[in-house]
Structure 1
Amino acid sequence: MAIRTATKKREVAVTSDLYEVLQPFIFVTRAFGFMPIVCKKKVLGFVAEWSIGYTIYSYLLGLFMMFVSMNGLHEDFHQSNSVRMGNTTVKYVTLIDLGEVIVTVFIGIVATPFKLKHLWKILDCFHKIDNVLPQKKIKEEQRHTIICILIAIGCVLFVLTYELYLWGEISNRSGLLWVFMKRYFILFSTYFMVFIQEMPYWNFTRLIRKRIEALNHALDAGLEIFKSLTKLWITPIKTNKKSNSSNFGILSHQRVVNLMKVYELIGDSVDATNDFCGVSILFIMFSCLLHLVVTPYFLLVEVANNGYFIFIFLQFSWTMLHCGRLMVIVETCQYCLDEHQKTVDLVFKLLSCELQEDVKDQLKVFALQLSGRKVRFTSFSMMKINRSLLTAIGGSITTFLVILFQFGSVGSDVYYSRD
């Protein structure tokens, strides 16, 4: 009943073009419990709606993954034949490291059905924007989405499979291969799911950027038309005749009003994305910080103790993977912010032109709208997601690494037995 209340609006219209772009990552995230919706074919396109069946599937999957993963972690922590926790320091570091993954995935699955009203808002905004500024190269965009998803999944599977193989070999030498697989296989699968959990955020952010680019293209086209008419746009001939509005092509008064509506919808879609992914992205960013402390710690321990190259490469791979997931989130948001800044620049360039009075007055209102309604990617207003976040995280990682090395001695058995 609570879920039904939280998802009062249970469906939203989606154009065929938008559905083609959304389909790949909806399919992937839904399979892992993070998108309990279905898209049904209608006469004029598609309708996305909440699915009770997929919600039940998501919750059952989340409960299964959490309980089995926690049981395996608990068993390895307390048993004398521990596979990965032979050292006291490593016990607690690994417990926090892997325990956080379980919590992040479970909370992401549980929270999503209660956030679907924000998903409907995102899709509704995209639908309205595309009616004014239709998206181009849909097939190319769909192909780009599929390639990005495949690359992300491929990188994660490579590192996870590599680690599973190495620890499997070590366990097999001690006759504990079955014990290791029983304790860690589902946990590794949960680890894979935390990377899938990020996909809605960076996909929606990229789609927002595409619509800002379309807005900028419309503004830039108007600027180019004006420059071609006046030859030198800095010193044009001013006209006050409203009948000449069509001379400036897309920069008529009504066109500027429509572009302002588009920008308002873009702002709404950004806010809805922050709300829809807010819980997940908060835990994901904490996950990135935690793993970028723990993984370099194990990497430096291996290097300091002349460890085996295969384990040094493993920890290096994990470090690069976690850096990559952080960079994907931050850079996707930053590219969107950079595109928004181009919108501001274009509007002010147009204000420098001697445009028709009604058009120029409307552009002034547009400029006020841009200054008052800025694009911001946040998580519960606790952090702004842009490149400045990388500096903050980098400083925190350095501090925690120093504390971690002072807390525990760096011995040759800190990570695994060398016997």
Structure 2
Amino acid sequence: MDIVESLIALNTCMQIGALTQWLVDGKKGKIYLSRLLECYAVCTIIVALVLLLYGIFTYDDDFHKSGNDIGHTVDYIQIIGIRVAHAVTILEAFLQRHSQSLFVKQVREIDRIFECSLNVDVDNRALRTQLIRRGIIMLAIYLASELFILFAKFLVKDRHFSIYWLFYLLPFFICGLRYFQIFVAITIVRQRLDKLLLTLNELNLLNSKQKQATNSNSNTNIKFISQTLPIYETSEYLHRHYDMENPDMKRLLIIRDLYNRLWESTCTLNRDFGISILINVGNDFISITSNCYWIFLNFKGYSATFNDFLQIASSAVWSVPHVFNVLILALLCDRTAQKTTAIALGLHRIETNIWNDNHNTVIEQFSLQLLHQKLVFSAAGFFDINCTLLYAIAGATTTYLIILIQFHMSENRVTS
């Protein structure tokens, strides 16, 4: 199954969210730009920007769910943050629409080399099943959290929250869809790195098999070469010629080329999603910090009533999708980037002759390639996406939460 066919369902969802302007021809498997979808994306960007500007310059109490000044400010920052993330996400998707097709072409070429040159089947059908299952799980987490929040606010009779929730909901789901698109792209790269590592671990350069075609023409080649080269140079030439005809050596050279192509695909991925990752991770940080602040306020005035419990639970559940986004993104990027180290270790476990200059040269060049072409996922170059991001967000959330608490205590002292 072609990679485009396996992603048709995701492509349809992205078309609805104005995150892609590409249509898929199911019969021919080709993709092409749609002018209608481009117009739809432009209109969506305009609407998103209008709502963003309206939210910035209009401080309407209907969009806030707090009864104090700092709470108003926190809610205001949170709704503006999700709108900025929404507008930037759609704008980046529109501007990088041509680069999206480049990533698909790169993956198609990689799959063709796997199947034709390495005789390795890239199971895109299993990938489609896996992605559908993960998409359903992610959607279930989003829906469950939002419905619980709405139900909790309905029970505590918060009349302002419903309007605030409606204006928050649509950008929230579009940003979630963008996250899933990023997860899918990284998963595609990781799956091919797994195939590459498995193929590399099967190599054995000592197991040199003579080619029938080479044997049939060997006498002619020797006779021709011996007429133009000294005996020593002739034997050295034939040794290298036969050595490079080793099928495992050929496979190793193909693996080098495939790794280079996967590294280029990672660069394309960073270029396509870098700004979205930066803005959405920043918005997740704002949401996590804001809800931690609300949990603090609810615990401060906690009187062991059912309404107080619902307020705390709704703030905690509100943070769940945002924590989920950052956690999955960091773990997925970190484990994919670690494949470079795994490939390097697999390369040096290959059985080879240490006196063979050809083998040593190829392995040395591949090692240098792995050293200088490390797989790195970044947020538009501002910071790398790995497990250290979780530690950084936890530390920053704690710092800003302490600052918000200090402002709250200062406000109480001024009021009293």
TM-score range (shorter-chain normalised) is: 0.7 to 0.9
In structure 2, how many angstroms separate the alpha carbons of the residues matched to 1:111 and 1:208? 21
Aligned 8 A contact 2:200 2:347 in 1: yes
Aligned 8 A contact 1:29 1:196 in 2: yes
> Quick one: structure 1 residues 323 and 226, their matched pair in 2 at CA, closer, same or farther if it must change by over 3 Å?
farther
> Quick one: structure 1 residues 113 and 221, their matched pair in 2 at CA, closer, same or farther if it must change by over 3 Å?
same
Residue 100 in 1 paired to residue 81 in 2? yes
1:181 CA drift (Å) = 4.4
> Quick one: structure 1 residues 351 and 291, their matched pair in 2 at CA, closer, same or farther if it must change by over 3 Å?
farther
Aligned 8 A contact 2:353 2:359 in 1: no
> Quick one: structure 1 residues 51 and 182, their matched pair in 2 at CA, closer, same or farther if it must change by over 3 Å?
same
In structure 1, how many angstroms separate the alpha carbons of the residues matched to 2:318 and 2:410? 20
Aligned 8 A contact 1:242 1:356 in 2: no
In structure 2, how many angstroms separate the alpha carbons of the residues matched to 1:334 and 1:227? 35
Aligned to 2:186: 205
Aligned to 2:149: 163
Which residue identity is paired with 2:275? V
Aligned 8 A contact 2:206 2:351 in 1: no
Gaps of 5+ in 1: 1-15, 230-239, 413-419
- Secondary structure of 2:7's counterpart equals helix
Aligned to 1:9: none
Aligned 8 A contact 1:245 1:356 in 2: no
Given the two structures, how large is their TM-score scaled by the length of structure 2? Answer: 0.81
- Secondary structure of 1:377's counterpart equals coil
In structure 2, how many angstroms separate the alpha carbons of the residues matched to 1:136 and 1:355? 36
Aligned to 1:31: 16
In structure 1, how many angstroms separate the alpha carbons of the residues matched to 2:134 and 2:93? 23
In structure 2, how many angstroms separate the alpha carbons of the residues matched to 1:353 and 1:331? 38
Q: Identity of paired residues, percent?
A: 16
2:7 to 7, 18, 22: 22
In structure 2, how many angstroms separate the alpha carbons of the residues matched to 1:84 and 1:350? 63
Aligned 8 A contact 1:292 1:323 in 2: yes
In structure 2, how many angstroms separate the alpha carbons of the residues matched to 1:71 and 1:183? 14
| Bigger radius of gyration | 2
In structure 1, how many angstroms separate the alpha carbons of the residues matched to 2:157 and 2:125? 47
- Secondary structure of 1:39's counterpart equals strand
> Quick one: structure 1 residues 351 and 296, their matched pair in 2 at CA, closer, same or farther if it must change by over 3 Å?
farther
Q: Deviations over 1:162-188 (max 9, x none)?
A: 22233345457xxx5xx7645542432
Aligned 8 A contact 1:97 1:291 in 2: yes
1:189 CA drift (Å) = 2.0
Residue 78 in 1 paired to residue 60 in 2? yes
In structure 1, how many angstroms separate the alpha carbons of the residues matched to 2:346 and 2:379? 29
1:280 to 261, 276, 280: 276
In structure 1, how many angstroms separate the alpha carbons of the residues matched to 2:80 and 2:96? 24
Gaps of 5+ in 2: 116-120, 210-238
Aligned 8 A contact 2:149 2:318 in 1: no
Residue 266 in 1 paired to residue 249 in 2? no
1:105 CA drift (Å) = 0.5
Q: Deviations over 1:304-354 (max 9, x none)?
A: 322622222212212232211101111110110122211111112227654
In structure 2, how many angstroms separate the alpha carbons of the residues matched to 1:293 and 1:182? 22
What RMSD, in angstroms, separates the aligned Cα atoms of the two structures? 2.9
- 5 Å-filtered alignment, 1:44-55, equals 46-55=29-38
Q: Deviations over 1:192-233 (max 9, x none)?
A: 22211212211111110111111111100114x86999xxxx
Aligned to 1:234: none
Residue 317 in 1 paired to residue 317 in 2? yes
In structure 2, how many angstroms separate the alpha carbons of the residues matched to 1:260 and 1:82? 55
Aligned 8 A contact 2:149 2:317 in 1: no
In structure 2, how many angstroms separate the alpha carbons of the residues matched to 1:352 and 1:315? 59
- 5 Å-filtered alignment, 1:19-418, equals 19-41=4-26, 43=28, 46-65=29-48, 67=50, 77-79=59-61, 84-134=65-115, 135-171=121-157, 176=159, 181-182=162-163, 184-223=165-204, 243=242, 249=247, 251-252=248-249, 254-306=250-302, 308-350=308-350, 354=354, 357-409=357-409
Aligned residues between the structures: 375
Given the two structures, how large is their TM-score scaled by the length of structure 1? Answer: 0.81
Higher mean alpha-carbon deviation, 201-210 vs 110-119, is at: 110-119
In structure 2, how many angstroms separate the alpha carbons of the residues matched to 1:319 and 1:38? 35
